[in-house]
Amino acid sequence: MELTRIWLILLALTVATTALAFVPGPAAAVALLAVAFLKARAILGGFLHLGRGSGWRAAFTVPLAIWLALIWGLHVI
């Protein structure tokens, strides 16, 4: 049941990504990066079960957040 819930969350986030594709401007870029972050968290915690191990989810989430911030920074330039 847990995997089904994660799968449905990923489907909803995919729909959000598709909807944001038609929104112009820098706010859409921030929203798309936020959706990408949420998708990655869902996959890390739901499918890879990194939430069960102490510190593993954070070990992947922090570098992911840094990369997304760098991508956003390059987009702003």
Domain range annotation of the chain: 2-76
Read off the pLDDT band of 27 (50, 70, 90). Answer: confident
- Tokens of residue 9, six digits: 């969350």
Tell me which residue of 2, 67, 20, 18 sits closest to 40, measured CA to CA. 67
Quick one: which H or E segment has residue 48?
Answer: none
pTM for the model stands at 0.88
The residues near 36 (Cβ < 8 Å, ≥ 6 apart) are 17, 68
Q: For 35-74, what is each residue's pLDDT tens digit? A: 999 999 999 999 898 888 878 989 999 999 999 999 999 9
pLDDT of residue 70: 96
